[in-house]
Amino acid sequence: MSAGRPPKGAKWLNLGAGNRVLGSGWINHDATKHRSEIDLAFDLNRVPWPLKANDWDHLSAISVFEHLRLTFIETLDECWRVLKPNKTLFVKFPIITSPFIRHDPTHRWFWTPHVVDFVDPTTVYGKRYTYYTQRKWKIVKRTRSDRNFWASMETIK
């Protein structure tokens, strides 16, 4: 899946870039500045993140959130806070049925694709568990394979 490139003036942030740093206007984040292309370093487990509210146009989190101590809802709440209204988060994580999910000793969470439903008020779970968070999202696109799940989701503000 191509990461695309930010339109002029748009602030796009690649959370937990690792060695997959993105060029052409992306801001790359990781826990440490382990290579020169990492622009921002901070611990995602410490909230609030050192980022302004309503300041970002797009966040990408590829194989990152399953490594955090934060719950999925806590992580999404923080993404929601820093994104502008109606802007997007692209998230990828390995699904619980993947034969490889327990290979990585730093994985803390094992989700199904339904985990995103709880923050979208149009879904069955989103309607039933409205009180999980006040920070709501529209799931714009879902894709899955036998190993991974990808979602594009937009803040509702």
Ligand X SMILES: C[S@@+](CC[C@H](N)C(=O)[O-])C[C@H]1O[C@@H](n2cnc3c(N)ncnc32)[C@H](O)[C@@H]1O
- 22 or 120: whose CB is closer to ligand X? 22
The DSSP annotation for 55-96 comes to: -EEEEEEES-GGGSSS-HHHHHHHHHHHEEEEEEEEEEEEBT
Q: Judged by CB under 6 A, does residue 121 bind ligand X?
A: no
- 75 or 120: whose CB is closer to ligand X? 75
Q: Judged by CB under 6 A, does residue 148 bind ligand X?
A: no
The DSSP annotation for 90-154 comes to: EEEEEBTT-TTTTTSTT----B-GGGGGGG-TTSHHHHHTGGG-S-EEEEEEEEE-SSEEEEEEE
Q: Judged by CB under 6 A, does residue 18 bind ligand X?
A: yes
Nearest distance, CB of residue 40 and ligand X, angstroms: 10
Nearest distance, CB of residue 62 and ligand X, angstroms: 4
- 109 or 126: whose CB is closer to ligand X? 109
Nearest distance, CB of residue 125 and ligand X, angstroms: 26
Q: Judged by CB under 6 A, does residue 79 bind ligand X?
A: no
- Cα–Cα distances (Å) from 82 to 54, 106, 135, in that order, read 5, 26, 12
Chain positions contacting ligand X, by CB under 6 A: 16-18, 20, 30-31, 43-45, 62-64, 67-68
